[in-house]
Chains A and B, each alone.
Chain A
Amino acid sequence: MKHILRTEWIKTKGFSTFWTLLGLHSILFIVFVLIVSQLNIQLQGVTIARFFAPEHLWQTTAWLASWFNLILAIIIAVLTGNELSFSTFRKMIVEGYSRFELMLGKLFLSAALSVYVFIIVTITGIAVGYFSGAWTTLPTFIHFKYTLIIAIQALAYMVLAITFVMIFRSTALSIILYLLYFALIEPIIRFFFNSPWDSYFPVKIISNLTPMPNFLGIIAEDLQQLQSIDPNTLVQVQNAPTGVTLLPSVLIAIAYTLIFIGVSTLIFKHRDF
């Protein structure tokens, strides 16, 4: 295992595009979250800063981070696609690497990027917590689980990207089809399925891991303090159904990730390089 990690590190360390895209990811994400958290928008007495209050901070930060996970998937697609276009997978087999080790190398890289996501979301969350004045002393970690879950989501996105590259063999084509699958193909397919089956498609499940914070509920909570609202109505808004609940979503997303790994491993095993 150690030799695969060393090999992947040498390959990745020297690839300037990797660092450029990763830098782009971290800068875009941090700047975006910091700007959004500092916006002073008030709508009928409800301020946007409420979404970064201690009890909502981690979910909001994780949700915002999920928008940037596609960049990580593109990074992995580029790194895997390079191996095919440079024929270096072929070369590594000739040099005695097993096909499974080639796959494992890319999985390790994806796992490392998931850890990176966890770290950057945690650091950004802490920074936002202090900058927005949510914390005055020690940070609080209510709903911190979303920071761990976004790492799982990132991993699932990246493994799906590897599968796309292994199927289509071209980096550009794979990235285009990957994005189309997210934005168009799966939503169209889902359209033909009734609830609740439409909630169990891969992209739907994986993107649901970091659900949009219940903005309506938060707003209603604030409004209740301004006007008198029936508390029963508020409970209904806060618990508005959002498809599959979190724990099953996590388990199904992990199952999908394992399926993507299985499919990629099969392709690695049987394909002529």
Chain B
Amino acid sequence: MVPILSVDSLSKRYKNVSALNKLSFNVNKGEVLGILGPNGSGKTTLLSIILGVRKACSGTFNWFGENYTHNINKRIGALLEVPYFYPYLSVKRNMEITAINRNCTTDEIYQAIEQVELTEKLNHPVYTLSLGMKQRLAIAQTLVGNPPVLVFDEPTNGLDPEGIAFVRRLIRQQHENGKTIIIASHNLDEIQRVCTHVIILKNGQSIANGKVDELLKLKQIVQVETDKVEGLKAIVANNPNFKIIDSYSEGITISVADNEAIKLLNEQLTDKNIVPKLFEIRQPSLEEIFLDQVAK
């Protein structure tokens, strides 16, 4: 099966800073790929390049098995960073500008506007809309023409909890309709809830890539609380098998690779006479996997 998006050794430099460094990955039909990474990891640069807004220094990418041309973007609904509009034009006119290039009818504009619940704002100038409404309008523009692929860069930026839940519902709905979706976000909980696959970027490179379920099985999380926290920290710091994810006054949260590492930790605590008040083993959240990978 031809991947929807295939990225091969993509690199981008801004003067002396490497934003992307030989990045390669594929996105297959029907996947919801989450792109994670700290600030400056290259998420927006990556999306800008694959959408033709910026030029890569080297490497290639193709969509739908075809070399990139501007016409490819007509098959992709994309929201890049903050929503951009002609603020002096009405919601309808802004939608028309998107629709004209995609040969869409006025009915399709109304449908997209209805999906994001902005029908009553149709004739209002965009500058009168709240940030949340603008974000919804930007999402409506991505839906015009029913493109098979959606790309969202921080889609829940500036949204209140109700708005976030709305976007989450919409993404799930679009996924159920068979669309392939790519989301770059800081909101790890959001990614875990809606994505099937994830790629974690650091300094423009992929440090983890795969199905969300499989990534969550790669590590285990151990939360330990004791009166001798400093002693506990010393044990963990001296062993490369353990990595501190979180530290607080009563204890620490660490990630470990397997059961052997947990056994080893237990033995070392006994040797040092450190009695845990709490010793809890659980599956990690995506946030903990992210922190584990990024802290490497």
Contacts and interface: CB of A to CB of B under 8 A. Distances in A.
Interface residues of B, number: 29
Contacts of B18: none
A90 interface: yes
Contact of A91 (B52, B84, B100): B84
Main secondary structure of the interface of A (DSSP, over half): helix
A62 B153 CA distance: 52
Interface stretch (A93-101, A187-195, A253-261): A93-101
A87 B71 contact: no
Interface string B140-169: 010000000000000000000000000000
A230 interface: no
Contacts of A88: 84-86
A125 to B, nearest CB: 35
Given A3-B101, A91-B84, A11 B89 contact: yes
A82 B73 CA distance: 23
A7 B100 contact: yes
B84 A3 contact: no
B53 A16 contact: no
Nearest to B78: A94
B101 A94 contact: no
Contact of A97 (B87, B93, B101, B141): B101
Main secondary structure of the interface of B (DSSP, over half): mixed
Nearest to A87: B84
Interface in A42-99: 82, 86-88, 90-99
Contacts of B48: 272
B89 A96 contact: no
Contacts of A94: 51-53, 73, 78, 80
B36 to A, nearest CB: 22
A113 to B, nearest CB: 19
Contacts of B217: none
Contacts of A101: 70
A273 interface: yes
Most buried by A among B51, B52, B70, B93: B70
B53 A14 contact: no
B101 A95 contact: yes
B73 A10 contact: no
B277 interface: no
Nearest to A100: B70
Contacts of A90: 53, 80, 84
Contacts of B53: 90, 93-94, 272-273
Q: Would you list the 7 A-B pairs with minimal beta carbon distance, nearest first? A: A96-B74, A96-B73, A98-B70, A272-B54, A91-B84, A87-B84, A14-B89
Interface of B: 48, 51-55, 70-74, 76, 78, 80, 84-90, 93, 96-98, 100-102, 141
Given A14-B86, A14-B89, A273-B53, 5 more contacts: A3-B100, A10-B93, A90-B53, A92-B101, A94-B52
10 contacts: A10-B96, A16-B88, A86-B85, A88-B84, A90-B84, A93-B70, A94-B52, A95-B73, A95-B74, A97-B70
